[in-house]
Amino acid sequence: MTNITNESSSDLSALIGGENVSLVQFLLDLGISLSSESNPDRLLEKIVDESITLTNADGCTLYLSDDSGSLHFTISKNISMKICLGGVTGDPVSMPPVPRDPSFVSAYAAINKKIVNVPDVYKSTEFDFTGPKKYDEENCYCTKSMLVAPLTNYEGEVLGVMQLVNAKDPETNQVIAFDKKFDTLVHSLASFAAVAISNVRMIGEIRRRVAMLREANLDAIYSLAMAAEAKDDDTGDHVRRIQLYSIALAKKAGFTDEKADEIGYSSIMHDVGKISVPDMVLKKPGKLTDGEFDVMKAHTEAGSKILPATSFFVVARDIARHHHERWDGNGYPDGLKRGKIPIEARIVAITDVFDALTHKRAYKKAWTFEEAITEMKRCSGTHFDPRLMEIWEELYTSGELNRIFDSWHDS
């Protein structure tokens, strides 16, 4: 007769007996192991593998529920048949979902949140086993015993079902019914698995939302930068070059790819404060008066105030405010000196000046790369961080600056 239980894992120690108390430690270690897995597919494979090991079953299949309650085949392994379907390493497979119909044993377990222990599938009259029997016939297999457990998380939500088949006698290797003690063991394992799946899904959702927020922030960055550049009669190519120059210099200086990328997209907003500068000053073709230059210099403070006060824009605010500081302390707006200038701003100070020198402006012709590098080397240790200037010269010598210039050259 089919055994249907809803036992609590708190009875675990009493159920398995003192001689097997190591199973308690096994489950605790398993719970920790499952909770530490962040890859969804690897997690499902680990659940299947550990379930087979724990119960000495021949096979295990996981079904995950959709919003309608239907159970979708996700991954299956069978030792004697030497197959693995789904997951990371398994062969792809397409199977129809198990409907929310309690005549099917998996659906029954999910609907009622109960473990079902079937000693002999072919003698059972309580469930519709047409599917498993057809599978057996097609694959020359014999599904005898079955243990089905719902994957119920800490909120009581059933995420899916774990279906174990054909328990084996550890001495004879003959197929036997699943010992009743496995009901509680598998219940505990299924609970750990459900919690781990919930956590992985939560992490995935958080990462998705973070990515969406990052894209929204980047859209804001480009919009602000384009507005500032349009006001300055420049093209978007300028900020793209600054971005790529800054990434290249940051990487060469030893920053990680992630940090270099942050410096790159933050550099795009270095002149966002120019939105606040009157056109008569910003677009003046001749030399600025002292008063006009004071107005122009204010774009650094304006930029840092325009950018949102969130962690995503911390580097961008530093760059906007400090990219006109000088290594010798004679820059603006705060007169910072040497290492007190944020290194991100020191990087953009170099890339911004280089791009300005090598492009035509209303008040000057474009310099050659060689002319620009020569002049900037002369200012190393006064205007620019000398170590960064050495690295910048290496990028020029290697041809990297030319490559970036050619890829984003004004048409």
CATH of domain 3-202: 3.30.450.40
Active site residues: 274
The residue extents of the domains of the chain are 3-202, 232-407
Q: How far is residue 57's CA from residue 162's CA, in Å, rounded to a whole number?
A: 12
Arithmetic mean of pLDDT over the chain: 85
Contact 145, 121 (CB under 8 A): yes
Mean pLDDT over residues 218-235, rounded?
Answer: 64
Mean pLDDT over residues 364-369, rounded?
Answer: 87
- Asked if residue 225 has pLDDT above 80, the reply is no
pLDDT at 282: 79
Q: How far is residue 47's CA from residue 241's CA, in Å, rounded to a whole number?
A: 49
Residue found under tokens 């060469």 = 252
Q: How far is residue 285's CA from residue 116's CA, in Å, rounded to a whole number?
A: 84
| 19-28, 50-59, 238-247: least confidently modelled range | 19-28
| 35-39, 127-131, 252-256: least confidently modelled range | 35-39
- Asked if residue 205 has pLDDT above 90, the reply is no
Mean pLDDT over residues 92-118, rounded?
Answer: 89
Could you report the per-residue pLDDT of 263-315, keeping only the tens digit for each?
Answer: 999 998 898 888 888 878 877 777 888 898 888 899 999 888 888 888 888 99
- Asked if residue 78 has pLDDT above 70, the reply is yes
- Asked if residue 26 has pLDDT above 80, the reply is no
pTM of the model: 0.56
Computed from CA positions of residues 242, 244, 250, 252, in that sequence, does the dihedral angle turn out positive or negative? negative
Contact 89, 69 (CB under 8 A): no
Mean pLDDT over residues 368-375, rounded?
Answer: 95
Within 13 Å and on the Cβ side, how many CA atoms surround 19? 0
Fold that domain 232-407 belongs to in CATH? Hypothetical protein af1432 (1.10.3210)
Residue type, 379: C
Maximum average pLDDT range among 46-55, 159-168, 227-236: 159-168
Could you report the per-residue pLDDT of 59-75, keeping only the tens digit for each?
Answer: 999 999 988 888 999 88
Mean pLDDT over residues 162-170, rounded?
Answer: 93
